[in-house]
Chain A
Amino acid sequence: MISQTFFDVAQGVAPQDSMIGLIVQVLWLAFFVLYMFYGQRLQVKIMLKEIEGSLFRLKLMRDRGREIAISTIKKLSKEKNDPTERVDRVLEHVYIPPVSLDPSGIIRRLEHIIDVRDFRLKDEVKLMVPDVDETKINNLANMLEAALALNQIYKVVRHFYLVGKKTSSFYVILQLQMILPQIMKESQAFASALIAFTTGQPIGDGVGPLVAARLMHGNKEYEIAKDTIVSEVPIEGRIAYVLKAKGPGGNVGKPGEAIRQLLEEKEGRVNRIIVIDAAQKLEGEKSGEVAEGTGVAIGGPGVDKYKVEEVATKYKVPLNAILIKEGIEDVVSVMRKEIANSVDEVIKRIKRIILEMTKEGDHVIIAGIGNTIGIAQ
């Protein structure tokens, strides 16, 4: 009975001697022959279909991001000029990194290009909405950057999709399909970022500035480098120079330059540098987990990291890092409760490091790294 049933199933679920059984058998045979010759092509078609679905979502994201950017600027503009053309031009803006063939002086050149790009973006915003304050200008510039990122992602994915389709190259399509989940995750993060930047809410990346803001609350601060402020805070009998980007507008400031200036001013008489930043968590780790390390925890293109490493090495100042673990989707979206709650733990660790590794009267630099949107000082 059982062997008969298996035989029936193997024969195409129908008895062999019936007409339908014969048709099913022929269909099976045809399927095997076709699969032998066209299997990979079929797989390519299925993968292209999947990519097409994701590409459609990316296009929706790109269009929605653009719409939000235009409507937000229109709402803030008193002159009632249509910003569409200018926004479209900004979204097509291309950043060209400096030549690395001769690496000598590349950091200086990279910094210059990044500065020019930032000024250009803020100038564009000022031209569209001349009557808003600096905070709003910074937030709008960040919002346009998120919309720009969505546009670029869509265009790059579309490029590889079309190349794969045109050449029917299994390997081009396979590579694109493999990284697509990561791309979709990043795009969703940029979409959430756009909303956060529009409303001026703190983002996950702002946990460093949030720690610094809590430490410097109630103390006088001054601007030490462009968009970067520092405050002298007494902690456990030591003098801490707490620095962060100038808020509450969307800003990362120049922490590298600020630390360099502080160390040069003090002629290296600083006993420790503690850098606090958000770090990419590994799968399985919890958002808001705190870890400690050695070195300069500053992300981005590397200009600030380089400057701190240079000056710390020059004066032989030990470097500590405190990292707050976050998923890629949390970094640029509105700050999660778990991340906001980790601030107390970070402050506890800062105090422990200061007590264990410095003496009373010593000088310490504490730098809160990240985008300070929605966080003042």
Chain B
Amino acid sequence: MESKPSNARRMPFFFMMIAAVLVVLALVTVIQVLKMYRETGYIDVLALTLSASAIGFSVYVALQMRSKPLKLGFEQPKVSTVIRCSNCGFETTRDFREGDYVLKEAESCPKCKGSMFIYTIFRESEETKKKRG
């Protein structure tokens, strides 16, 4: 299997070029509008608005491309382990530790000294986190 070391991030050159061309065209239009205003006193509001929108859009696209991290799915999510007492039902939640598995015996219950076991292991999804704010 061929494998070359790959860059973690690649410049989206194509989109940056489009954004740059858009900015240049918008600036030319703005200059034209200003020139026409000086000569005739008529201001082309629509052309000015379109140019401002084009500049705004380009800046937005550029910022989006800069701030977007490349997520591949290998990120370790926050995983929790729920431990429950089989005697009194006392429950405690902690971070997942390597070697944890459901129904594994855990330390004794701090309340009744009964035997505890791993009841469940789960991750909180991104959607749930977002909903909680």
Taking Cβ atoms with an 8 Å cutoff, the residues of A that contact B are 5-6, 8-9, 13-15, 18, 20, 49, 53, 56-57, 59-61, 63-66, 68, 88, 91-92, 151, 187-192, 194-195, 199-202, 210, 213, 217-218, 247-248, 287, 330, 333-341, 343, 374-377
Residues of chain B in range 83-133 having any CB-CB distance to chain A below 8 Å: 86, 96, 98-104, 117, 120-125, 128
With A20-B28, A194-B74, A200-B99 in contact, do A5 and B44 touch (Cβ < 8 Å)?
A: yes
Determine whether the beta carbon of A375 is less than 8 Å from that of B103. Answer: yes
Q: Which of B29, B102, B124 has the most CB of A within 10 A?
A: B102
Q: Does B63 contact A (CB under 8 A)?
A: no
Residue of B nearest to A217 (CB): B103
Determine whether the beta carbon of A340 is less than 8 Å from that of B6. Answer: no
With A9-B46, A92-B1 in contact, do A201 and B103 touch (Cβ < 8 Å)?
A: no
**CB neighbours of A88 from chain B (8 A):** 1
**CB neighbours of A339 from chain B (8 A):** 122
Question: CA–CA, A90 to B124, complex, Å?
Answer: 33
Question: CA–CA, A15 to B37, complex, Å?
Answer: 12
Given contacts A61-B73, A201-B79, 16 further A-B contacts (CB under 8 A): A9-B46, A9-B47, A13-B32, A49-B14, A59-B6, A64-B74, A66-B1, A190-B73, A201-B121, A202-B121, A333-B77, A335-B122, A335-B123, A374-B121, A375-B103, A376-B102
Q: Does B24 contact A (CB under 8 A)?
A: no
30 A-B contacts, Cβ less than 8 Å apart?
A5-B44, A8-B44, A8-B46, A15-B36, A56-B10, A60-B8, A60-B72, A61-B73, A64-B72, A65-B74, A91-B1, A188-B71, A188-B73, A192-B77, A195-B76, A199-B79, A201-B79, A210-B102, A210-B120, A217-B103, A248-B101, A248-B104, A287-B125, A333-B73, A333-B77, A334-B122, A337-B125, A375-B101, A376-B101, A376-B103
**CB neighbours of A13 from chain B (8 A):** 29, 32, 44, 47, 50-51
**CB neighbours of B6 from chain A (8 A):** 59-60, 63
**CB neighbours of A374 from chain B (8 A):** 100-102, 121
Category for how many chain B residues contact A: 35 or more
Question: CA–CA, A64 to B72, complex, Å?
Answer: 9
Taking Cβ atoms with an 8 Å cutoff, the residues of B that contact A are 1, 3, 6, 8, 10, 12, 14, 28-29, 32, 36, 44-47, 50-51, 70-77, 79, 86, 96, 98-104, 117, 120-125, 128
**CB neighbours of A63 from chain B (8 A):** 3, 6
With A68-B74, A374-B101 in contact, do A334 and B123 touch (Cβ < 8 Å)?
A: yes
Question: CA–CA, A53 to B96, complex, Å?
Answer: 35
**CB neighbours of B8 from chain A (8 A):** 60
Determine whether the beta carbon of A14 is less than 8 Å from that of B29. Answer: yes
Determine whether the beta carbon of B1 is less than 8 Å from that of A340. Answer: no
* B37 CB to nearest A CB, Å: 12
With A13-B29, A248-B102 in contact, do A336 and B1 touch (Cβ < 8 Å)?
A: no
Determine whether the beta carbon of B122 is less than 8 Å from that of A337. Answer: yes
Question: CA–CA, A206 to B83, complex, Å?
Answer: 18
Residue of A nearest to B14 (CB): A49
**CB neighbours of B122 from chain A (8 A):** 202, 334-337, 339-341
**CB neighbours of A375 from chain B (8 A):** 101-103
* B119 CB to nearest A CB, Å: 9
* B89 CB to nearest A CB, Å: 13
Question: CA–CA, A24 to B128, complex, Å?
Answer: 51
With A335-B122, A337-B124 in contact, do A199 and B29 touch (Cβ < 8 Å)?
A: no
Determine whether the beta carbon of B28 is less than 8 Å from that of A202. Answer: no
Question: CA–CA, A194 to B103, complex, Å?
Answer: 23
Question: CA–CA, A190 to B45, complex, Å?
Answer: 52
Q: Which of B6, B121, B123 has the most CB of A within 10 A?
A: B123
**CB neighbours of A189 from chain B (8 A):** 73
**CB neighbours of A210 from chain B (8 A):** 102, 120
